[in-house]
A and B are shown apart, each in its own frame.
Chain A
Amino acid sequence: MELFVQNIINGLTIGAFYALVALGYTMVYGVLKLINFAHGDLFMWGAYLGWAGLSLVALLGLKQGVWALIPVVILVMATLALLGALIERAAYRPLRSAGRLPPIVSALGAAFILESLARNIFGASYKTYPGWAEVTGSITVVGGVTVGVMQIIALIASLLLMAILYLFVNYTQVGTAMRAVSLDHDTARLMGIDVNRIITLVFLIGPALGGAAGLMVAVRYGSFDFTLGWTFGLKAFIAAILGGIGNIPGAMLGGMILGAVESLGAGYISPQWKDVIAYVLLVVILLARPTGLLGERVAEKL
């Protein structure tokens, strides 16, 4: 029972990261019907930029400590927001009317570029976050179940970001415009919505959240390299699909479920089958519910 609770808690933490990254996939899919394969690598860039930011803090002799993370996170999110919007502008917008396949190839190309840049700029070796940026110590919940303080901070930060996004999308005018664009570009345009601006906005928000997740994942696991984006990105995308792609609460739910299932699988079966469990879960859920857990059933109008 203790093992079970411990696994669930660990799973939910990682699941919150999946969810943060999944939001970027799902929002882009919502407005462009495009699998943004570059998103995983933007997430990976979040880890690198966070590392660079903390290194800079140390280099400049600024005050070292966990609080330094806050300005670094904000900077990382801002940089990635700009990078995301730049990619949309350069690699996706010219292909808006080119059919389904060309944007996918362009997205894969953008992913290659981001990965290659990271590898050449930061080197191929593993990067480690400085110890001073981490809060050590853990809290014992019940019995033998412990939760790291950092884990709690990360979980709260993720949930906070998701809550802000949820409120933004559902209760502001811009958020409503965003939902309108994801339903139908032409109608949205007729209603006076600047579709391009909304799409740019989505590409600002998604990568910013992904970048924050990248930084937090790197803090949580300590070390990473330029291949981080691929596996994690794919899993996050699976989370988005599990919940029903294009659906923001779905991405959150999908991320949490994926994290929990993976963690339980690793605990009870074997860590080396963890990834396989995630993929099998995807296939099983899609077979049972072809549009994901919270996805709407689309009836084709004839």
Chain B
Amino acid sequence: MRDLFLRVRRLPGRYVSPAFLVAALLLPVALDNYLLAVLWQAGIYILMALGLTIIVGYAGLFQLGQAAFYAIGAYTVAILNLYLGVPIILGLPIAVILAGALGYLVSRPILHLRGDYLAIVTIAFGEIVRMLLVNNVFGVTGGANGLSGIAQLSLFGFTFDSIVKNYYLVVACVALTIIGVQRLENSRLGRAWTYVREDELAAEAMGVDTVHVKAVAFVLGSALASLAGVLYASRITVISPDIGRFLESVIVFCIVVLGGTGSLPGVFLGAFGMVVLPELFRFVKDWRDGLVGLAMVLMMIFRPAGLWPSRRVALELSGAEEGET
């Protein structure tokens, strides 16, 4: 079993990713609409988790308020659409840029805080956003009931009005994001993130503008969460402040860590564990959260590096094993 796992891991990425993509494209043939909707939901979380991978996995920053940016994306397109009649396709870039800008404004003054302090400020920010939505800020958020009647995404007369279409839309977004994140990881900026994560002071002394680099990670991560929020709002067409709950941020955070912090395949496994499995286990009803919690504890005890550790973590582990023999 372990051998098999290691062998799969060693398969070059250039085979795994296309095979995975083909499988993802063929799935609608085999699955009913309910299961597709579950996978669509997982795709939404994967987008958020990819954003968080940049922030937590690469730059090593503690962000526990990712759902706030998700909610900001969803509410931005919804408000633009409902009050100003802006179509979703135009609202999308606005929502993404707005979330990115907010990510910058929020993170910039707090980036010098030590790890756990940063975490708690992002939690607080998430709660502030949620409370603003609940309290119907500027009278446009619909209060605790939220907003309904949001238009669906439509592009050159083609409307994403079915689950199959939306599923493909999410698959396309995830695929493009993966390519983008991989390119970033293997770039000057991606390396700078890892330098900051490994030793911030040494990075700074070697000429890395650490504050700037961290802020960029926040901006990109927030923008991706916002994109996920836009896709969510335009399919479900009804949103409420609940989408910005701390619990949502926790789920995204756990997807990243359970999968293997900083590992892209890990994000998929994490989303499977945190989103798809709980959905399939609906019949356990109120025990579901408890079982998820138990699984989280056990997973961390038995696989602290995650289901599919990132290359670096894997290297570390193999290095330790060599050291022992």
Contacts and interface: CB of A to CB of B under 8 A. Distances in A.
A103 B300 contact: yes
Interface in B80-120: 109-110, 112-117, 119-120
A109 B121 contact: no
A109 B296 contact: yes
Contacts of A90: 297
B293 A113 contact: yes
Given A102-B300, A106-B301, A108-B254, A283 B125 contact: yes
Interface string A72-104: 000000000000000000110011001111111
A101 B289 CA distance: 20
Contact of A115 (B112, B246, B289): B289
B38 to A, nearest CB: 20
Contacts, number: 131
Given A102-B304, A108-B250, A109-B292, A119 B286 contact: yes
B40 to A, nearest CB: 24
Contact of B293 (A99, A110, A230, A273): A110
Nearest to B131: A276
A105 interface: yes
Interface stretch (A6-14, A125-133, A165-173, A237-245): A237-245
A40 to B, nearest CB: 11
Contacts of A62: none
Contacts of A120: 286-287, 290
Interface string B59-85: 000000000000000000000000000
Contact of B120 (A35, A98, A287): A35
A226 to B, nearest CB: 10
A272 interface: yes
A99 B292 contact: no
A245 B113 CA distance: 13
Interface string A7-51: 000000000000000000000010001010000000000000000
Contact of B254 (A99, A105, A113, A272): A105
Interface in A259-300: 272-273, 275-276, 279-280, 282-283, 286-287, 290-291, 298, 300
Contact of A112 (B119, B128, B289): B289
21 contacts: A90-B297, A94-B301, A99-B304, A103-B300, A105-B254, A108-B253, A108-B296, A109-B293, A109-B296, A113-B294, A119-B289, A238-B124, A241-B120, A272-B135, A273-B131, A282-B121, A283-B110, A283-B121, A286-B121, A290-B113, A291-B114
Interface of A: 29, 33, 35, 90-91, 94-95, 98-106, 108-117, 119-120, 124, 230, 234, 237-238, 241, 245, 272-273, 275-276, 279-280, 282-283, 286-287, 290-291, 298, 300, 302
